[in-house]
Structure 1
């Protein structure tokens, strides 16, 4: 296979993580290790090593249970148009990538870039990607976080894109601002990074870095004012509802949060999300970004960058909410990634096993890692023209056909072939 590359050169990073001291939460015991009791075991972390099973029995999320309250708060804002209303009112066109004007990627099949303004803006940065179907329309949803150095903070927006026909010259899309209801007829921004998305039914899950998962109801999307007053305002202003000039808002309906009594290292970060429908129960995947230059993870110990963890949160296939017992949900399984700089995850859909994944990473300027519990990683690197630069969130189609990814973009570059912001898809079999 062209560009196939196994990481071996100068990439060994190993250490011993000793005595994390939190009973019931840590590496699974391994033969020959001292202090083999769960939660106190010693685990060698090596970059590129197989996924390591992790004991996450100490961890749980609590449903904030604001489903009905938040929905009622939005009633005065006006009728909900839902996702179909937005899809009928897409106002931007992203040119489809053609010829050599696309990022190099093994198995590349197609993609699109954003319009010129979104390719060059420094105020908003693309992050996460998920996809699904609304009626007969195939839809991609991408998140952007607000990143200017001046006030006011605008939080997180999503792009709703119609990807039904990638043979057209452009993909139509529209930005929608995420909001949190605060009282009857009022709302505010979502001040988060927006690093992960997962779409189940009418619910869009978003990573809340410090606390867990926020949930948004796609049926509750509402139209607000785009008057001059609203260009610089959020929430109720006089007789208008404003969202910094955005025509539509997507409201939060609830959240699943880690109780404050659960602390590090049991308490994880929620940097990115994914969607996995393999196995008997669908799950929301969540994981941690960490590196060896200052952004650590709770489990890193003295191995900066390699202690990121991957969690599987079970979803009730009937309600599309997380499966709870007395309002709490626990991960059905967890792994230590043994990879740094992870930005997204997608399940390998050609198998029903839940022990293998693709990880997107900004390690080496951009990489796709194929990982599992049984083998060292396979790496596709941007430096070898195997994958795009600065990849973020991913989505694998359930048919096992396409692997979609979004890129953050290299600062100052707008050419899609050289690191400009794109959404693209590759043949799953080519990187499996």
Structure 2
């Protein structure tokens, strides 16, 4: 938590006394009234008071790297990009899903299209040297042994060929000198800044991975069912490379609902002169209702903007804590991803990816009702998840998790594709 930093504790206590909600500080017994405020689907983003919310840096940056030293030399993205071992066919006019402003995309190889063990979730993108790279997270679905989260690292520099090359990498968490284990999270959100990859930790905040600290591990048959150090080698369920967690930003345990949100998805925002990690809540009308759902359950998901220190690519820490610089209630259900509308310098307009209506893209802002692109009207793909908007204002990328049992990319199978930002603005 805050350790022995009295200033940080004072800041935290003062903030919590200030309340957390869409209006003034809550009085005892007033929570029900606040939570039943009417919300309207498709309404503009509603400003949200997030003054009670804090994240605390677990500050394991050095120790995590030290713990991985024995595993082998640190490898950066260029090493992985030089060893891609899978090919995903580029989509064609007959194999692509419907999407307004469609420009290009690819599907996974046959095994990854059909597997029920792993499900795609989040997407982020960036540049490594001269290579354009997309990174997609997959969560492990079977019950029992949890293999955690894997990433697909894909070279998307040339979309004009017949296939996109990619490789899976397993996320791990160092637990001691030369020891690591899986990262048992949903992997619902990614945001890439510099060498750091941020991932949503649903219940607690954000986990951070260092793309310069990948390690090669053993791929023998004995390693296919094991993780961590096994005898004289290190295993990662058969994967050749691991990416270690280096730190985390977590909510203090004293934060409770409604102040304590879920971290369901992430996004990358570089507008307004201050880069930021975006985080948001998935809410629906059934098993995932949120604190501010009002009279229409599913609409109370909140969107937060966490400021980044441009010199370090870490979140800005003030008096021992990280605070969101902006927050809104989204007034949209089933949100799975977010990306900034890059044609606007204001940080008040976003695209939201939603599984509402089996698939939708919503353009939302603080000043106007939503603009919707629906899969049922052949305007968007089915089951969309994470998104990334290129800083040039050109392309909007997204990944789909796929309709259960469907492997045809044109009718709901898993795909990664991009559209013209202007077409959905």
TM range (shorter): over 0.9
In the TM superposition, 1:358-397 aligns within 5 A as 358-397=351-390
- 289, 292, 298: which is aligned to 1:296? 289
Structure 2 residue 175 is the aligned partner of structure 1 residue 179: no
TM-score normalised by the chain length of structure 1: 0.91
- 10, 21, 33: which is aligned to 1:26? 21
Conserved in 2, the CA contact under 8 Å of 1:25 and 1:39? no
What is the match of residue 3 of structure 2? Answer: none
What is the match of residue 314 of structure 2? Answer: 321
> Post-superposition shift, 1:26?
1.1
- 53, 70, 74: which is aligned to 2:68? 74
What is the match of residue 404 of structure 1? Answer: 397
SS in 2 for 1:84: helix
> Post-superposition shift, 1:39?
12
| Separation in 1, partners of 2:190, 2:84 | 21
> Any stretches of 5+ residues in structure 1 without a counterpart?
1-20, 30-36
In the TM superposition, 1:304-343 aligns within 5 A as 304-343=297-336
Structure 2 residue 145 is the aligned partner of structure 1 residue 152: yes
In the TM superposition, 1:7-406 aligns within 5 A as 23-28=18-23, 43-149=37-143, 151-300=144-293, 302-406=295-399
| Separation in 1, partners of 2:208, 2:294 | 31
> Post-superposition shift, 1:251?
0.1
Question: Structure 1 pair 392/78, CA: closer, same or farther in 2 (3 Å)?
Answer: same
Structure 2 residue 406 is the aligned partner of structure 1 residue 423: no
What is the match of residue 12 of structure 2? Answer: none
> Post-superposition shift, 1:301?
5.0
| Separation in 2, partners of 1:326, 1:132 | 31
Conserved in 1, the CA contact under 8 Å of 2:37 and 2:294? no
| Separation in 2, partners of 1:27, 1:346 | 23
> Post-superposition shift, 1:22?
7.6
SS in 2 for 1:119: helix
| Separation in 1, partners of 2:291, 2:403 | 28
TM-score normalised by the chain length of structure 2: 0.93
What is the match of residue 10 of structure 2? Answer: none
SS in 1 for 2:80: helix
State the aligned residue count: 405
| Separation in 2, partners of 1:344, 1:243 | 28
CA distances 1:48-97 after superposition (whole Å, capped 9, x unpaired): 10000000000010000000011100000010111111000000000000
CA distances 1:244-290 after superposition (whole Å, capped 9, x unpaired): 00000000000000000111000000000000000121000000001
RMSD: 1.7
